[in-house]
């Protein structure tokens, strides 16, 4: 199985870039990971948020194969423990799915079109995080999941 992370924009802060890169490097022995950075829409008028999210949705959906399993990160998604997250990834891997796609929304979230494409909606917390933090947390949790799946030691 391959993992793809679709996220808005590039990481700007060096400490987030370095942390994310480190965890994605650690995942490589378990499975390949691709990060696709889509161009976020600039929103100058609050009344155009929905239209902007729909434009981003087209960019996101164009990166997803019809047969891919899609997990969106949404504040109203289901919260999982690290062990439950690992079990979810393991189940998806054993289902024969060739690609697992994680989608991180922009600062205004995700279009309903993307949310409707999701096979599973995941929330890290009821709190809102910068999308850059969400990418770092996701990378670390994917790595942790594989350590759990392989029954390998990892700090708690």
Distance, in Å, from the CA atom of 154 to the CA atom of 142, rounded to the nearest integer, reads 12
pLDDT value at 87 more than 90: yes
Distance, in Å, from the CA atom of 34 to the CA atom of 104, rounded to the nearest integer, reads 14
Mean pLDDT of 126-153: 94
What's the pLDDT tens digit per position in 27-65?
999 999 999 999 987 777 777 888 889 999 999 999 999
Q: What integer pLDDT is reported at residue 129 of this predicted model?
A: 85
Q: What integer pLDDT is reported at residue 53 of this predicted model?
A: 92
This prediction has a pTM of: 0.94
Whose structure tokens read 């999941």?
145
Q: What integer pLDDT is reported at residue 156 of this predicted model?
A: 60
Domain range list for the chain:
2-149
What's the pLDDT tens digit per position in 107-121?
888 999 999 999 999
pLDDT value at 73 more than 70: yes
Domain spanning 2-149: CATH superfamily: SPOUT methyltransferase, trefoil knot domain (3.40.1280.10)
In sequence order, what are the residues at sequence separation of 6 or more whose Cβ sits closer than 8 angstroms to the Cβ of residue 104?
Answer: 5, 6, 7, 8, 73, 131, 134, 135, 138
Contact between 4 and 123 under an 8 Å Cβ cutoff? The reply is no
């Amino acid at each position: 199985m391959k993992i793809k992370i679709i996220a808005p924009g590039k990481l700007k802060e060096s400490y987030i870039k370095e942390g994310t890169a480190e965890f994605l490097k650690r995942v490589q022995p378990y499975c390949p990971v691709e990060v696709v950075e889509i161009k976020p829409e600039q929103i100058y008028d609050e009344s155009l948020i929905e239209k902007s999210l729909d434009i981003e949705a087209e960019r996101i959906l164009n990166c997803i194969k019809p047969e891919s399993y899609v997990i969106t990160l949404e504040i109203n998604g289901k919260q999982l423990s690290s062990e439950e997250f690992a079990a979810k990834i393991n189940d998806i891997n054993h289902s024969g799915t060739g690609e697992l796609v994680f989608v991180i929304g922009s600062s205004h979230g995700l279009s309903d079109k993307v949310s409707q494409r999701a096979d599973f909606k995941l929330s890290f917390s009821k709190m809102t995080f910068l999308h850059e933090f969400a990418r770092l947390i996701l990378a670390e949790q994917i790595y942790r999941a594989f350590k759990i799946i392989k029954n390998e030691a990892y700090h708690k």
